[in-house]
Structure 1
Amino acid sequence: MTILTGAPTAHESAECEPDYVQLLTPEGARTEHPDYAFDGDDDLVRTLHRDMVLVRRIDTEATALQRHGELGIWAQLLGQEAAQVGAAHGLRRQDFVFPTYREHGMAWVRGIDPGKLLGLFRGVDHGGWDPAEHDFGLYTIVIGAQTLHATGYAMAQAADGLVGSGDVTRDACTVAHFGDGASSQGDVLESFVFAATYDAPVVFYCQNNQWAISSPIERQSRTPLHWRAPAFGFPGVRVDGNDALATYAVMRAATDRARSGEGPMFVEAYTYRMGAHTTTDDPTRYRAGADVDAWRRKDPIARTEAYLRSVDAIDDAWVAGLEQEAADLGADLRRRCRELPDPEPLALFDHVYAESTPEIEEQREGYAAYLAQFDTTGTEVAR
């Protein structure tokens, strides 16, 4: 009997795990895996590449806007584009997604206007998009809470007969996004229990970017995160999170499985947070520059570009056109962010409940009286 005496490091786990799914190497070469295959063509790879480039530009512009005082905070995505864009394209339109607060790539692919994200981080609204229109929930700040929401939603999908009919246009499932830090939350483990017990059609999609703010993954788990799944009664798999083809293939397989009625699955997208946790964080205080440099050589965007160039699917003119599209998107976001109107102060009472209550109305009147003490310039009026 072999006894594990020490925790494997994150790099050891990635290199040694037999179920580490990779379909495109960091050098841009296609490879095969016995259990998962990319069924798309080079047109789809171009789409994945384009979306990753544009999502990175959104992230870059939002970071700059925060630095210029236009946003209150921003949760950076840099380095995790393939983990989100590939997985997003692996979904069916009717699948419902519960995000955290960093799913900008998933939001982009699901059709969320990035200006809505800026409004949220500027603090002028709560997100502003209709979850039902995009099958994409509002961002969740409470760490891990969305996994319980997703599990309950998936249980309702099953109860409504939306699972296991064989109709690919109708059968649906739910995807719960969270990070390696959230995997230490009790809510996440509770959602595993309910999902397994009720055979819920939910895919738990963990982007393991190896840092829970300043806590490394080695301080959170002594084994790879996807190993937890079998203990709860459902399968888990680790995928190269910097490989958009692999995340697409694994998500497509996991969601197909859930929709068919085979129950939950855990997907660990092994990636790296190249930027800060948020714009209030300084990652140079707790991680080595050599690690960042090593992961920079695994850049997901450089990977797909290398492949597309190797098969003559793109050329310099196409790349230049994409760069201009990204620049135009950035300029548009800067303009729209600065034009975002401040909300009416009393509007915060409008949607507390479907129907207002005497208590809410009393609070509204009290706050209105408080605001009446100020003139239109914000100067307090002498009484």
Structure 2
Amino acid sequence: MSVRTHPQVVDGLLPSPAPVRFVDEDGKPLEPPAGYRAPGDEQLLEAYRRMVLGRRFDRQATALTKQGRLAVYPSSRGQEACQIAGVLALREDDWLFPTYRDSVALVSRGIDPVEVLTLLRGDWHCGYDPVATRVAPQCTPLATQTIHAVGLAEALRRKGEDAVVMAFIGDGGTSEGDFHEALNYAAVLRAPVVFFVQNNKYAISVPLARQTAAPALAYKGIGYGMRSEQVDGNDLVAVLSVLTEAVRHAREGGGPFLVEAHTYRMDSHTNADDATRYRTSEEVEQWESADPLARLETYLRDRGALDAEGVAAANQAAEEFAARLRDAMNTDPETDPFELFDHVFADPTPQLREQRALLASELTATED
């Protein structure tokens, strides 16, 4: 039995054979890739300011963890181009579904940094209002948020809204069944969702080669009939250009879009991880030489769009932001132990009422 193929359709789904790039590791412009347009200087300057602030936020959050103010913190140092571009590619009425490593993206979205860190301090599962911010709670279980993102995207489409949903995911999450179910479900429904994979090369300590034999994670989209692309995740210009196109494609009814950004997690998985056990200092140094922040700064300086005064202003704003965060986080939160029983059921069960009464009696006995 012969099988008829449609190569023209396949060609439209395949990612570029090499990651899309606009700027090299030294900050020098490259030949613009076909089919993509570089963002304007004003948007790139805004991205630079947010990247500076995001890097400073990340350093401050790491310090707060060492001081015992946070229970855990997963750094995204080195992934700022992905975090910031993902936010800038969206409108205010679009939705973002983040992972536990995307705190910088949430801060860039305008969420109070203390509310962002509430989960990592252990106070609440989510410290901000997802409906008001159009940002889902940061997801710790790998890939489960991708299914939720597709469901919400389909709901928005059925309501007649032209909003888009972007789901952040790490390379480790692509090994989970939820990821594959989400891609299949989104493609069948042609839901307006962008799957943005930040491939930082390690799922905690598991290298990418132990997770997949695919030439790139972006190629996984073709199996579901989904347009896909791969991009240099440390090139802010390229990431923003590709994500802008992906969002446009989804918003205009083209269906879902899978984007893989090749980047690197410069710090350990979290403060509880020792990355020296599974990667070399030479590897880290190689990626640090491709720092996305330094690359964008050089690019903008060479274009005359950024000068020493602009760099100083961005750094000063970031330091003031960090100082406000320190002051806020050094204040002990007011806690109510009875919140354990709130928001579990609209009508508390007899068991919950019994447990609440037991806690009340124990607290009373302690006070006596």
Q: TM-score if structure 2 supplies the norm length? A: 0.92
Structure 2's unaligned 5+ residue stretches are: 1-14
C-alpha distance after superposition, 1:105-147 (max 9, x if no partner): 2212221111112222111222321112221111111111100
Is the 8 Å Cα contact of residues 88 and 248 (structure 1) preserved in structure 2?
A: no
In structure 2, which of residues 283, 287, 296 is the aligned counterpart of residue 291 of structure 1? 283
Does 2:26 match 1:34?
no
Counterpart for residue 154 of structure 1: 153
Does 2:368 match 1:368?
no
C-alpha distance after superposition, 1:222-243 (max 9, x if no partner): 1111111101111211011111
Does 2:193 match 1:194?
no
C-alpha distance after superposition, 1:164-210 (max 9, x if no partner): xxxxxxx1111111100011011111111211121111111110000
Does 2:41 match 1:50?
no
Separation (CA, whole Å) in 1 of partners of 2:61 and 2:174: 27
Separation (CA, whole Å) in 2 of partners of 1:68 and 1:173: 39
Is the 8 Å Cα contact of residues 107 and 116 (structure 2) preserved in structure 1?
A: no
C-alpha distance after superposition, 1:48-70 (max 9, x if no partner): 11101100111100101111111
In structure 2, which of residues 147, 163, 171 is the aligned counterpart of residue 172 of structure 1? 163
Is the 8 Å Cα contact of residues 98 and 136 (structure 2) preserved in structure 1?
A: yes
Separation (CA, whole Å) in 1 of partners of 2:192 and 2:117: 32
Following superposition, the deviation at residue 25 of structure 1 comes to 1.7
Separation (CA, whole Å) in 2 of partners of 1:36 and 1:355: 53
Counterpart for residue 252 of structure 1: 244
In structure 2, which of residues 257, 268, 273 is the aligned counterpart of residue 276 of structure 1? 268
Separation (CA, whole Å) in 2 of partners of 1:89 and 1:173: 13
In structure 2, which of residues 219, 222, 236 is the aligned counterpart of residue 230 of structure 1? 222
Over the residues paired in the alignment, what is the CA RMSD in angstroms? 1.6
Following superposition, the deviation at residue 29 of structure 1 comes to 2.1
Separation (CA, whole Å) in 1 of partners of 2:27 and 2:174: 31
Question: Identity of aligned pairs, percent?
Answer: 40
Separation (CA, whole Å) in 2 of partners of 1:342 and 1:78: 31
SS of residue in 2 equivalent to 1:36: coil
Counterpart for residue 304 of structure 1: 296
Separation (CA, whole Å) in 2 of partners of 1:335 and 1:41: 36
Separation (CA, whole Å) in 2 of partners of 1:269 and 1:222: 17
SS of residue in 2 equivalent to 1:94: coil
Bigger shift: residues 64-73 or 334-343:
334-343
Is the 8 Å Cα contact of residues 170 and 199 (structure 2) preserved in structure 1?
A: yes
What pairs with 1:1-383 in structure 2 (closer than 5 Å)? 18-31=17-30, 32-38=32-38, 40-162=39-161, 171-223=162-214, 224-375=216-367
Structure 1's unaligned 5+ residue stretches are: 1-15, 163-170, 376-380
Following superposition, the deviation at residue 19 of structure 1 comes to 4.2
Is the 8 Å Cα contact of residues 70 and 338 (structure 1) preserved in structure 2?
A: yes
Bigger shift: residues 29-38 or 366-375:
366-375
Task: Tell me which amino acid in the other structure corresponds to 1:256.
Answer: R
- Runs (4+) of structure 1 moved beyond 4 Å? none
C-alpha distance after superposition, 1:23-51 (max 9, x if no partner): 1222222230102112x321211111110
Separation (CA, whole Å) in 2 of partners of 1:70 and 1:357: 34
Following superposition, the deviation at residue 17 of structure 1 comes to 6.1
Separation (CA, whole Å) in 2 of partners of 1:66 and 1:182: 25
Q: TM-score if structure 1 supplies the norm length? A: 0.88
Separation (CA, whole Å) in 1 of partners of 2:289 and 2:331: 38
Separation (CA, whole Å) in 1 of partners of 2:104 and 2:64: 18
Is the 8 Å Cα contact of residues 195 and 202 (structure 1) preserved in structure 2?
A: yes
Is the 8 Å Cα contact of residues 118 and 337 (structure 1) preserved in structure 2?
A: no
Following superposition, the deviation at residue 248 of structure 1 comes to 1.0
SS of residue in 2 equivalent to 1:236: strand
Count the aligned residue pairs: 352
